[in-house]
Amino acid sequence: MSGSAIGDPSLFAIGLTLAWLAGLRVYLTVFGIGLAGAMGWLDLPPALHVASSPWVIGTCGLLALIEFMVDKIPGVDSGWDLLHTLLRIPVGAFLAAATLSPDGHLGGGALLAGGSLALGSHAIKASTRALINASPEPLSNWSASLGEDAVTLAALGLLLAHPWLALGVAIGASLLGALAVLWLFRAVLRVARRRREAIA
């Protein structure tokens, strides 16, 4: 879809996917869509032109690298998630509304939908990390973080040519993430129960 305008149906898929990704990797998401606009890979809607600013791309690129490293440190990643609750949700709301806006005005429904998606993916991510940090498997933190990096990069890449497939990846990852939270919660409860029984 290089250099071409995004069709209306694709806008819907792109907006929702960007909102979901913001809850997972906010800086990488803004960097990716901004770079796509600056390079002419996508014709961004008017309200999203700000993302293609060199300052926005550079700042988000640097912060994405910092997040990549911080997100691999057990305990620190949960603090990072807590801090970024205040950023990921409003950015997700903005990305969805800006993508779906033909004239630069942000609609309330789109803001609500985007914020809800960002909140959902953020909640799954933060819950998974908190449970992993409570488990006795230190390597699982790296695996989860790298998995999130891979999903974000794959979805951003798919947005250029297959927006609906990218949205499908986001939905599938959400379902898997919810199942992972449930499994980890039960695993942590089992470990805690065994420790209590051993002490008793």
What is the per-residue pLDDT across 26-35, written as a single tens digit (0 to 9) for each? Answer: 999 999 999 9
Average pLDDT over residues 111-115: 93
Greatest CA separation for the chain: 68
Residue 84 lies in a domain: yes
- Residues in Cβ contact with 132 at an 8 Å cutoff, skipping those fewer than 6 apart: 74, 140, 141, 144, 184
Residue 2 lies in a domain: no
Q: What's the predicted TM-score (pTM) here?
A: 0.86
Write down the pLDDT at residue 32.
95
Write down the pLDDT at residue 4.
41
What is the per-residue pLDDT across 160-199, written as a single tens digit (0 to 9) for each? Answer: 889 999 999 888 988 988 888 888 788 777 776 777 767 7
Top pLDDT among 133 and 146 is at: 146
Write down the pLDDT at residue 105.
79
Least confident piece of the model among 44-58, 117-131, 134-148? 134-148
Residue 115 lies in a domain: yes
Average pLDDT over residues 114-132: 89
The count of domains in the chain is: 1
Give the Cα-Cα-Cα angle 193, 137, 182 (nearest 5 degrees). 60
Residue 127 lies in a domain: yes
* Domain membership of residue 169 as a residue range: 8-199
